[in-house]
Structure formats: structure tokens, C-alpha cells
Amino acid sequence: MSNLIELHNITKIYRTVNREIIALKNINLSVLQSEIIGILGKPNTGKSTLISIMGLADLASLGEYYYKQQPTDKISFKERTHIRNHQFGFITHTHFLLSHQSILKNIMLPLRHRGTALPEAESIAIDMLAKVGLSQAAHKMPGQLSNCEQQQVAIARALTNRPAIIFADEPTRGLNTEEERAIFDLLAKLNQQDGCAIVIASENQQAKQYCHRIVAIDSATSAG
């Protein structure tokens, strides 16, 4: 089984007028196809920064990042955007659902943004809602759903491009224990059904039982 992602000595430094802030230092990490990997650590240890770099939303200050054996520092902004839009799925603890749009239309939005025709976008959105067990919610508004159900909708939206990798940044924050379990169960089921790799960044220790491999990140300086 080949690596989808390889990180070598990834370091992220934020510079202000008066000082440098090291958000990540010398991170080495690989993600295999069809693997669920957990990046676990306390708040402010750089988990979200690492997810942003892996998801091509941010650049490392130092180090090498390979996606499908290709160095990402050699690709253009346009190519990075294409990979993000067509090969990656993203989930955060904030659903970013438009309150004035139906659940179905919320899921269709990224498809329409990518140029998918309306009938196909609607068909895909319906299929993704069924996949997360919320077919009955298609014509409801976000405010009519629970926090857990809204997170399920966000997962359905992340699936619309049939991603090779899903990046989940604190996907259970703000949920109760039962809801946390439901979200982790859903991610594990999707991994088994679709074979997509999933990278979960979390401070929730419950994530451990769902991951094939755990990477502990401590004080934004090491992973292993």
C-alpha cells in the first residue's frame, strides 16, 4: 500500500515584528491509502496548522511535502486549488452551513462551484445524504437539525468530490459523548465503504479506538 502523503521535517514559523512563533517543528508523517490516522494533542500544539499544510491551504516554512510522490512545493497555486477541490474533503467543528439554504442546496454548493450541472449536482447531493443517513433532511433548513446532524451534513458535503483523503479538524468539538461516537462511527464506516484515507486532528482521546495509527503531537515541536 503506497503513501498518499509524506511529510519530511515540516516546520511552520509565523513571524511578527518582534518575534518568531514556531507553530510546528520537524514534523515527519506519512498517510497511507485507506488509512485512518489520528493526530492527537492538547490545544495549541499545532494540529490545525498541520491539517492546513497537509490540506494545501497553507505552506510550510521549511521541510518537504509529497502528495502521491510529487513534491508540492513545485506545483502552482492553480494546481494546489485543483487538488483541494477535486481530491480532498474537509470537515471542521464549524459546519459553515448557510442558514437560508436547504440542506440539499448546502451540499450542492461546492458541486455547483466546481461547474457540475444542476441535475447531476442534485443527484450527487441526494446520494451523499443517503450515505450519512440523512435522506429525510434534504429539504429541511440547518436550524431544524441538531448539532450532530449538522456535522453529518458537513461530512456529506465533504464527500461530494469523492475525495482520496478527508481532513477532519476537531470534528466532534461541541458534541456530547453519544454524538461524538456517532460521528466517529460514521467516519469509520465511510473509510470501510469508500476506502478514502481520513486524517483526524483532535484532542478527543475517544478518537484512538477508530484510528489505524495514532500520531501524538506535543508542544508543536514533534510528532511520532
pLDDT digits (tens, 9 = 90+) for 7-56: 999 999 998 888 898 999 999 999 999 999 999 988 888 999 999 999 99
DSSP state letter for 25:
E
Q: What is the pLDDT of residue 222?
A: 43
User: Smallest Cα–Cα separation from 28: which of 65, 70, 72, 71?
Assistant: 65
Cα–Cα distance measured from residue 206 to residue 144, given in angstroms and rounded to the nearest whole number: 28
Cα–Cα distance measured from residue 137 to residue 13, given in angstroms and rounded to the nearest whole number: 43
Cα–Cα distance measured from residue 69 to residue 164, given in angstroms and rounded to the nearest whole number: 14
Q: Which residues on adjacent β-strands are paired with residue 64? A: 8
| AA letter at 170 | E
Position 219 confidence tier, pLDDT thresholds 50, 70, 90: low
Q: Give the angle 153-154-157 at the CA atoms, nearest 5°.
A: 90
Q: What is the pLDDT of residue 2?
A: 80
Cβ neighbors of 65 (< 8 A, separation 6 or more) are 5, 6, 7, 8, 10, 53, 54, 71, 72, 73
Cα–Cα distance measured from residue 107 to residue 152, given in angstroms and rounded to the nearest whole number: 11
Quick one: average pLDDT of 1-8? 90
Q: CB of 223 within 8 A of CB of 28? A: yes
CA distances from 59 to 16, 49, 52, 171 (A): 17, 10, 8, 23
User: Smallest Cα–Cα separation from 145: which of 129, 158, 160?
Assistant: 129
The CATH class, in words, for 34-59+81-223 is alpha beta
Cα–Cα distance measured from residue 200 to residue 40, given in angstroms and rounded to the nearest whole number: 8
Q: How many CB atoms lie within 10 A of CB 103?
A: 26
Cα–Cα distance measured from residue 186 to residue 65, given in angstroms and rounded to the nearest whole number: 29
Of the chain, the percentage scoring pLDDT greater than 90 comes to 84
Q: What is the pLDDT of residue 224?
A: 40
Q: What is the pLDDT of residue 44?
A: 85
132-171 confidence digits (pLDDT tens): 999 999 999 999 999 999 999 999 999 999 999 999 999 9
* Structural domain spans, the chain: 34-59+81-223
